């Protein structure tokens, strides 16, 4: 008897059956653009082997003008079709099913050739689109239909027509971007025509026994977005036009409301999909922040949808479904929704991967083969770098002992998980604990070790992490000065007026912790929706609350400071930095750059600005929190080197600058692959 009866039950689509209710949602990984088709095939085949019911590829352009960026992959030539065959064949050999997403970016296409319903530039692109004429619209629709036919020729089991997230089809649907006065604009019936025609022509070209998913924007989260009556009307028309399944899209890319970040509550938008249930006769998929089999099962059991879409969780663990099926859910590597190695990579032109699973998209390169000669390995430091090394080395058959002076594993993750909005880090630490047990790693916690304790080990890995940098501010010994570690660990408390010195990732985390009080909105959906101004699209167009964001009052008055004379938060994640900045602005945090720290005394923090120390000011704070970055903790590494004992130094102990869990886990796993 499975714990996930809904999730693991098959879905009969008439002409074909999906073996369970899990869809791997579309993600742009950048793999197709490498044209290393073996690598692309392995990425998808690994997930097919992991048991997922149906996968959707990253968006494929139907034509050059619709590509997300110049050179975006698509099925343009017979050679492209043959290359995609390599992928679909490998997936089918692994007993999987795969659909190709057809993504026409419209005005989001990053290039001067972009086209749309009207010539209105998107706020997130520098390129104004050309308004399409009648022939131009017909061409786009024919290209979408041709892409569907070519997908079938390439062996795909279906296509997903991308109609949400503010892309081309979505741009026709709403008056926010469609100001046309011809038969493709004006009334909703006219604005829907592109969506309906795209599905109808795709069906006509690809045949009946072919999956067509239509991704429908259920809550646009932009001004003048769709009403829910319009969503239902469109869903019914799309069904009539030949769609097999309706998938859920949440929010346009230009929306200023987070929809998938860590701080978004789990299953935050399943209620929106649920509103559509019963209005159409075809299966409906829900999406966004569903990252465990428990949550997925609950969503299905509550009737929110017929199927769930998990995208990033399939990067974190290709075997999500197989582990759920085998009763090994705690071994599923959790997606913590950080975006650090997936979306942030995509938007920096890098291949996607995953913070918790560096093998994602690197399946052919980073392999953990059984060790030829099992070794006795010591890992000192139970933070993300050390734990990743230990688990991967043990999986390879080595005998591994982990030492840490702390009584718990997790290192800096134990601080991160105290931050409101970062509750997912609890799951990551729990997963490390599970994996340490299941791989048979020996733990020696609560004891500091020295070079002498390393005798008898074949390999020594030093992952001793970081220690806070001393900013050497006059008066920092004052009782009102505390470290971020003491604050987050609950060893120190802050007063009502607080200055935070340093505005890196930790400074921002500390500021968010300080302004927050009580229950985290990330674990309280109604509070979170209120905080960001999300309303029911059945009541307000696009799901935007007319009163806007209504954050709870800040618990403290906070100043967040840095010495660099630039906007704060520039070094934060590309796709999440804006969320942290907006969250702090909403709470009234004062952010200051170009600051000199003069001294700290009973009056507060004395600062001035610029190279010549202008505008001296006293911030009347009763607490100063130091978040001035890190330096490597190299005590053990230095000891070992002095004694001539070879060791591997990784993570923060190796390089503290710009250290994050992504680099630590990647470095640890890669080292383990070579031991
Ligand atoms: P960080 O990002 O390097 O930031 C250090 C901050 O301290 C900067 O604002 C820096 O700005 C300031 N600083 C540096 N030297 C100073 C000095 N001598 N005196 C006063 N201020 C000084 O380090 P972090 O905030 O400690 O974060 C560590 C790592 O954790 C980061 O690499 C980050 O990626 C990661 N992290 C990430 C997240 C995330 O949300 N993705 C969250 C937490 C942590 P000025 O030099 O301009 O003053
Ligand atoms: Fe999830 Fe972060 Fe991995 Fe992306 S990088 S898949 S958000 S854990």
Query: What's the CATH code of the domain at 302?
Result: 3.20.20.70
Q: Is 548 left (phi over 0), alpha (psi -120 to 50) or beta?
A: left
**Residues 561 and 656 reside in one and the same domain:** no
Which protein residues are within 6 Å of ligand 1, measured from CB? Answer: 469, 471, 501-507, 509, 562-564, 571-573, 627-630, 658-660
How far, in Å, is the centroid of ligand 2 from the Cα of 224? 32
The minimum-distance atom of ligand 1 relative to the CA of 595 is 48
Ligand having the closest approach to the CA of 428: 2
Which residue lies with its CA nearest to atom 1 of ligand 1? 504
> What is the band of 660 on the pLDDT scale with cuts at 50, 70, 90?
confident
> What is the band of 164 on the pLDDT scale with cuts at 50, 70, 90?
very high
**Residues 638 and 568 reside in one and the same domain:** no
**Residues 151 and 300 reside in one and the same domain:** yes
Q: What is the mean pLDDT of residues 201-214?
A: 98
How far, in Å, is the centroid of ligand 1 from the Cα of 402? 28
Ligand having the closest approach to the CA of 468: 1
Domain termination residue (choose one: 338, 358, 391): 338
Element (H, E) at 368: none
In the prediction, which pLDDT does 626 show? 98
Best of 335, 357, 388, 660 for a ligand 2 pocket test (most atoms within 8 Å of beta carbon): 335
**Residues 314 and 386 reside in one and the same domain:** no
Distance of CA 104 to the CA centre of its chain: 22
Ligand having the closest approach to the CA of 665: 2
Which residue lies with its CA nearest to atom 4 of ligand 1? 504
In the prediction, which pLDDT does 302 show? 98
**Residues 398 and 498 reside in one and the same domain:** no
In a domain, residue 357? The reply is no
Ligand having the closest approach to the CA of 320: 2
Task: Please state the domain count of the chain.
Answer: 3
In a domain, residue 20? The reply is no
Rounded percentage of the chain residues whose pLDDT exceeds 70: 100
Best of 315, 318, 345, 361 for a ligand 2 pocket test (most atoms within 8 Å of beta carbon): 315
Q: What is the mean pLDDT of residues 167-188?
A: 97
Ligand having the closest approach to the CA of 29: 2
Domain termination residue (choose one: 628, 644, 666): 628
How far, in Å, is the centroid of ligand 1 from the Cα of 630? 7
The minimum-distance atom of ligand 2 relative to the CA of 353 is 5
In the prediction, which pLDDT does 403 show? 97
In a domain, residue 438? The reply is yes
pLDDT, one tens digit per residue, over 124-149 is: 999 999 999 999 999 999 999 999 99
Rounded percentage of the chain residues whose pLDDT exceeds 90: 96
How far, in Å, is the centroid of ligand 1 from the Cα of 502? 6
In a domain, residue 325? The reply is yes
| Residue 155 · residue 206 · CB < 8 Å | no
In the prediction, which pLDDT does 134 show? 98
In a domain, residue 347? The reply is no
- By residue range, what is the domain housing residue 575? 481-517+555-628
Q: Where in the sequence numbering do the catalytic residues fall?
A: 167
Which residues lie below 8 Å from residue 8, measured CB to CB, with a gap of 6+? 2, 20, 21, 321, 324, 325
How far, in Å, is the centroid of ligand 2 from the Cα of 195? 31
d(CA 147, CA 101): 9
pTM score: 0.95
How far, in Å, is the centroid of ligand 2 from the Cα of 273? 23
In the prediction, which pLDDT does 657 show? 82
**Residues 173 and 321 reside in one and the same domain:** yes
pLDDT, one tens digit per residue, over 15-65 is: 999 999 999 999 999 999 899 999 999 999 999 999 999 999 999 999 999
In the prediction, which pLDDT does 184 show? 98
In a domain, residue 527? The reply is no
**Residues 119 and 242 reside in one and the same domain:** yes
**Residues 284 and 228 reside in one and the same domain:** yes
> What is the band of 359 on the pLDDT scale with cuts at 50, 70, 90?
very high
pLDDT, one tens digit per residue, over 388-444 is: 999 999 999 999 999 999 999 999 999 999 999 999 999 999 999 999 999 999 999
Best of 26, 30, 356 for a ligand 2 pocket test (most atoms within 8 Å of beta carbon): 356
How far, in Å, is the centroid of ligand 2 from the Cα of 156? 26
Q: What is the mean pLDDT of the chain?
A: 96
Which protein residues are within 6 Å of ligand 2, measured from CB? Answer: 312, 315-316, 335-342, 354-356
**Residues 584 and 660 reside in one and the same domain:** no
pLDDT, one tens digit per residue, over 303-350 is: 999 999 999 999 999 999 999 999 999 999 999 999 999 999 998 889
CATH of the domain at 497: 3.50.50.60
What is the secondary structure of 306-365 as a DSSP string? SEEEESHHHHH-TTHHHHHHTT-GGGSPPP----TTTHHHHTTT-----SS-TTTT-TTT
The minimum-distance atom of ligand 2 relative to the CA of 342 is 4
How far, in Å, is the centroid of ligand 2 from the Cα of 316? 6
Residue 329: both structure tokens together: 């859910």
Which residues lie below 8 Å from residue 198, measured CB to CB, with a gap of 6+? 141, 144, 145, 161, 163, 169
In the prediction, which pLDDT does 405 show? 96
**Residues 293 and 421 reside in one and the same domain:** no
Best of 258, 487, 572, 629 for a ligand 1 pocket test (most atoms within 8 Å of beta carbon): 629
Which residue lies with its CA nearest to atom 38 of ligand 1? 505
Using DSSP's 3-state secondary structure scheme, residue 37 falls into helix
How far, in Å, is the centroid of ligand 1 from the Cα of 499? 15
> What is the band of 1 on the pLDDT scale with cuts at 50, 70, 90?
confident
> What is the band of 265 on the pLDDT scale with cuts at 50, 70, 90?
very high
**Residues 243 and 308 reside in one and the same domain:** yes
In a domain, residue 3? The reply is no
Which residue lies with its CA nearest to atom 8 of ligand 2? 335
Residue 618: both structure tokens together: 């006293």
Q: Which of 565-569, 572-576, 617-621 has the weakest average pLDDT?
A: 572-576
Which residue lies with its CA nearest to atom 6 of ligand 2? 312
The minimum-distance atom of ligand 1 relative to the CA of 507 is 25
In the prediction, which pLDDT does 161 show? 98
Residue 473: both structure tokens together: 């501010």
d(CA 348, CA 68): 13
Q: Which residue in the block uniquely carries the two structure tokens 């009207």?
A: 118
The minimum-distance atom of ligand 1 relative to the CA of 473 is 19
**Residues 388 and 414 reside in one and the same domain:** yes
Q: What is the mean pLDDT of residues 240-256?
A: 97
In a domain, residue 261? The reply is yes
In the prediction, which pLDDT does 659 show? 74
| Residue 531 · residue 657 · CB < 8 Å | no
């Amino acid at each position: 008897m499975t714990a996930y009866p809904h999730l693991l039950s098959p879905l009969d689509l008439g002409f074909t059956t999906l073996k369970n209710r899990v869809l791997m949602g579309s993600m742009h990984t950048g793999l197709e653009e490498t044209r290393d088709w073996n690598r692309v095939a392995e990425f998808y085949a690994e997930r097919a082997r992991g048991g997922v019911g149906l996968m959707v590829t990253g968006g494929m352009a139907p034509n050059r003008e619709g590509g997300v960026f110049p050179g975006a992959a698509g099925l343009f030539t017979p050679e492209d079709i043959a290359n995609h065959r390599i992928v679909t064949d490998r997936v089918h050999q692994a007993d999987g099913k795969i659909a190709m997403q057809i993504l026409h970016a419209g005005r989001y296409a990053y290039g001067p050739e972009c086209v749309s319903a009207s010539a209105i530039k998107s706020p997130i692109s520098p390129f104004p689109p050309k308004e399409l004429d009648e022939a131009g619209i017909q061409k786009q629709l024919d290209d979408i239909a041709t892409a569907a036919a070519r997908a079938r020729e390439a062996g795909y089991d279906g296509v997903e027509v991308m109609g949400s997230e503010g892309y081309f089809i979505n741009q026709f649907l709403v008056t926010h971007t469609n100001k046309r006065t011809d038969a493709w604009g004006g009334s909703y019936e006219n604005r829907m025509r592109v969506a309906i025609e795209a599905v109808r022509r795709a069906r006509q070209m690809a045949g009946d026994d072919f999956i067509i998913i239509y991704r429908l924007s259920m809550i646009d989260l932009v001004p003048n977005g769709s009403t829910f009556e319009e969503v239902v009307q469109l869903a019914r028309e799309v069904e009539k036009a030949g769609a097999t399944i309706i998938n859920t899209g949440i929010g346009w890319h230009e929306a200023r409301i987070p929809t998938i970040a860590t701080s978004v509550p789990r299953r935050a938008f399943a209620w929106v999909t649920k509103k559509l249930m019963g209005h159409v006769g075809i299966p409906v998929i829900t999406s966004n922040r569903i990252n465990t089999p428990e949550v997925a099962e609950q969503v299905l059991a509550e009737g929110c949808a017929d199927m769930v879409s998990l995208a990033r969780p399939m990067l974190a663990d290709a075997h999500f479904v197989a582990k759920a099926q085998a009763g090994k859910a705690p071994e599923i590597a959790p997606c913590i929704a950080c975006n650090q190695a997936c979306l942030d990579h995509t938007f920096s032109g890098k291949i996607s991967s995953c913070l918790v699973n560096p093998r994602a998209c690197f399946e052919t390169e980073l392999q953990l083969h059984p060790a030829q000669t099992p070794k006795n390995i010591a890992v000192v430091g139970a933070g993300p770098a050390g734990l990743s090394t230990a688990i991967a080395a043990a999986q390879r058959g080595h005998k591994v002992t982990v030492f840490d002076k702390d009584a718990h594993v997790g290192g800096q993750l134990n601080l991160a998980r105290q931050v409101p909005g970062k509750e997912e880090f609890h799951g990551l630490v729990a997963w490390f604990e599970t994996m340490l047990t299941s791989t048979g790693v020996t733990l020696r916690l609560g004891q500091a070790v020295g070079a002498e304790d390393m005798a008898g080990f074949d390999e020594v890995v030093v992952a001793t992490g970081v220690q806070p940098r001393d900013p050497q501010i006059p008066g920092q010994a004052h009782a009102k000065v505390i470290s971020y570690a003491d604050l987050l660990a609950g060893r120190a408390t802050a007063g009502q007026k607080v200055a935070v010195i340093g505005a890196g990732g930790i400074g921002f985390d500390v500021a968010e912790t300080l302004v927050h009080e009580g229950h985290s909105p990330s674990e309280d959906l109604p509070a979170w929706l209120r905080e960001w101004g999300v309303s029911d699209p059945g009541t307000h167009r696009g799901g935007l609350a007319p009163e806007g964001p209504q954050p709870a009052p800040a618990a403290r008055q906070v100043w967040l400071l840095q010495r660099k004379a630039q906007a704060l938060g520039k070094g934060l994640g590309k796709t999440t930095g804006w969320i942290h900045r907006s969250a702090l602005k909403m709470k009234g945090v004062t952010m200051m750059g170009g600051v000199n720290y003069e001294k700290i005394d009973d009056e507060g923090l004395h600062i001035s600005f610029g190279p010549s120390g202008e505008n001296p000011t006293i911030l009347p704070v009763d607490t100063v929190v130091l978040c001035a970055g890190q330096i490597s903790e190299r005590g053990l590494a230095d000891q070992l080197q002095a004694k001539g004992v070879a060791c591997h130094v990784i993570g923060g102990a190796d390089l503290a600058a710009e250290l994050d869990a992504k680099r630590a886990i990647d470095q640890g796993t890669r080292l383990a692959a070579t031991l």
